[in-house]
Amino acid sequence: MTLHLVKLCVGVDSVEDLQAWIDFSRDEAREAGREWERIHVTRMVPSRREEILDGGSLYWVIKGQVQVRSPLTDIRPFTDASGVKRCELVMEPLLVRTETQPRRPFQGWRYLKPEDAPRDAHTVSDAPDMPAEMRRQLAELGLL
């Protein structure tokens, strides 16, 4: 059974902001002649790796709302130079907008069952040209 992760997207104000950061990271690696993968490093290693890699995604909470997901392709545990165990969450270089879903702040990541995950957004109201602040306000009012 597929399982997802959900994580706060700290320091990002919108989906467009996250996309800009991804683009910057990719361009910087290319300019330096390095291969680029979309990776997020986290401290804890998910113990349910096989379920997550069976079609799971990392759902990003931006400004208190799940707004977008990134399909996961690998989970790589490693030990950093200081001897601390960490994990690379490897994602497709793709952001998939989701229906908004409110989330309270939390630390780290959490497992997310498929039945609790927001659906991918396919409505006119979730159009990419709608300002993020308007989208957030409409979601708070229960209109998205």
For residues 55 and 96, the answer to whether their CB atoms sit within 8 Å is no
**What does residue 83 show for φ and ψ, rounded to 5 degrees?**
85, 10
Task: Provide the number of structural domains found in the chain.
Answer: 1
Q: pTM value?
A: 0.83
The confidence score (pLDDT) of residue 124 equals 44
Q: Find, among 69, 82, 6, the residue nearest to 38 by Cα.
A: 69
Helical H runs in 2-102? 15-31, 49-52
Q: Tell me the pLDDT tens digit for each residue of 68-116.
A: 999 999 999 999 999 999 999 999 988 999 999 999 988 889 999 999 9
127 falls in which pLDDT band (50, 70, 90)?
A: low
Q: Domain limits at 121? A: 4-140
